[in-house]
Amino acid sequence: MIDRGLENTSVTAVLIGLETADRPWVRYEIEKSYDRGNGLVGIYINGIEDRNRLSDPRGRNPFDVLGTNRNGSWIRLSQLGYRSYDWVLNEGYRNLPLWVEEAARQAGR
């Protein structure tokens, strides 16, 4: 299902919650997106309050966990320039289109 969902895409937005970096299917989607040359953008959603006005602590960035081998060295995706933003602090409602465009440009799409 993930493979089909990535067809005809140029950017993959990763919503980062408390446990996102540890989820195998999220990791799979990020790896497949990287392999196919998609732009990647991470969006922390921990600051969004639920109906009880509670929110989760910030989770680990999967771009700091996942990486690739380059010239015999392992490099994190975050070191390759894949950026992450905080939905609340970075005004995601207003800036999401800019983040997606930046990720597409970075990927050459």
Task: Render pLDDT for 3-49 as a digit per residue (tens, 0 to 9).
Answer: 999 999 999 999 999 999 999 999 999 999 999 999 999 999 999 99
Q: From residue 11, how far is each of 8, 19, 53, 56, 57 by CA, in Å?
A: 10, 22, 31, 26, 26
List the structure tokens of 67.
């990486």
Q: What is the pTM of this model?
A: 0.92
Q: What is the pLDDT of residue 100?
A: 98
